[in-house]
Amino acid sequence: MSLNFGRDLLAIPGPSIIPDRVLAAMHKPSPNIYGGPLIDLTISLYPDLKTVARTSGEVAIYISNGHGVWEAALRNTVNPEEKVLVLATGFFAERWGGVGKSFGIDVEIIDFGARRDAAPQQLEDRLRQDKAGQIKAVLVVQADTASSVKNDIPALREAIDRAGHDAMFMVDCIASLACDQFEMDKWGADVMVAGCQKGLMTPAGLAFVFFNDKAKEARKHTNPGMYWDWVSRTEPEVYYQRFCGTAPTHHLFGLREALDILVHEEGVEAAWQRHERLAAAVWAALDRWSSAGNLEPNIAAPSNRTVAVTTVNTKKGDAGRIRDWCEHQAGLTLGIALGFPLEEANDHFRIGHMGHLNPPMLLGALGTIDAALKALGIDHGEGAVEAASSVVAGHKSV
Ligand SMILES: *Cc1c(COP(=O)(O)O)cnc(C)c1O
């Protein structure tokens, strides 16, 4: 017998769940792309995107996924053979570096492993050694979606300042934007990249590079090529230059609706708080499950965890069995292991809790994982769903 009947729940860390309203907004015929409402709709997106990023800088919109804006951010600011310093904390920052390497950027990595955040002191020490100023940019992810670590962006900024170094500070918020608090201007990020398919609740296909005056200055000394150039996208003479060709019409409809929900209805700060509460519920459940010694959070300290996704470590093979049971017996899809050695593929799973999510969805997911542990005979602490519901009720936090 299978109980898998009803609406499936996707709890992977991106793409995230798309609100029905966003889907409905996309369900219409192709518009005129040379004039009319599409132009105004497009222009209305920029201030709202900046509100989400907390910046008064610029934002270029690309028809791409996260990998595309990784490349765009680097091509506009760093030349081949120049050096960038990558703070690796799982999977994604190193991969960003890999994109740069693929077109000749000199990539140096400080590897902090997959279980802790990047240490500001190590960054400061390395930058102090760079007397010649060879390091053009420091690359970090705010939330590493593989390890589920959250890096301390303000502390890393302070480390750069203490070292008195001129490197640009470039932050990947692809997983964390509109989930974890992020303050681009106040925290001193020069470049920030994000995608539409995680906290922004829109089908994968749009991605963003936010940048400030310092990054604009760097752009004067690079040649990013026509497609990745952010100048034509932010200072277009004609509309089609915003996307270097045909506009992503239906993604723009979807994003407009998603930003209406996020910025004009819920509010960005309320969205952060909702994510904090729902993440705390996940961690309360995980705490209970872990008490029998067979599961553990990958990131020990709650203050170092992103509120967008939680990586769980299990005994050999259990994570694979839990994922299988949840998907096939119950219709709940959990995230796979990412950024761990291949032989550990079935020893980690991830619970995505980003974007369009409320207590019935989340408690349903946690209750389903709880049932999987029972069905599979994986010894676990009792009371996990109870603990989560207390957090949802506001009675306690982790
Ligand atoms: C998802 C993700 C990416 C990659 O985005 P794609 O759209 O798959 O290219 C990069 N960085 C982080 C932190 C992510 O979570």
Q: How many A from CA of 175 to the centre of ligand 1? A: 7
Pocket of ligand 1 (CB under 6 A): 14, 65-67, 92, 141, 145, 172, 174-175, 195
Alpha carbon 373 to chain centroid, angstroms: 28
- Taking only Cα atoms into account, the Rg of the chain, rounded to an integer number of angstroms, comes to 21
Residue to mutate (ligand 1; options 12, 63, 87, 92; most atoms within 8 A of CB): 92
Residue to mutate (ligand 1; options 87, 99, 145, 192; most atoms within 8 A of CB): 145
Residue pLDDT, tens place only, 188-242: 999 999 999 999 999 999 999 999 999 999 999 999 999 999 999 999 999 999 9
pTM above 0.85, yes or no: yes
Residue pLDDT, tens place only, 297-352: 999 999 999 999 999 999 999 999 999 999 999 999 999 999 999 999 999 999 99
Q: From CA 226, how far away is CA 241, in angstroms rounded?
A: 10
**In the predicted structure, residue 396 carries a pLDDT above the cut 80:** no
% of the chain with per-residue pLDDT over 70: 99
Q: How far apart are the first and last CA of the chain?
A: 36
Q: What is the pLDDT of residue 397?
A: 55
Residue pLDDT, tens place only, 235-294: 999 999 999 999 999 999 999 999 999 999 999 999 999 999 999 999 999 999 999 999
**Taking a C-beta distance cutoff of 8 angstroms, is the pair 337, 348 a contact?**
yes
Q: From CA 141, how far away is CA 365, in angstroms rounded?
A: 27
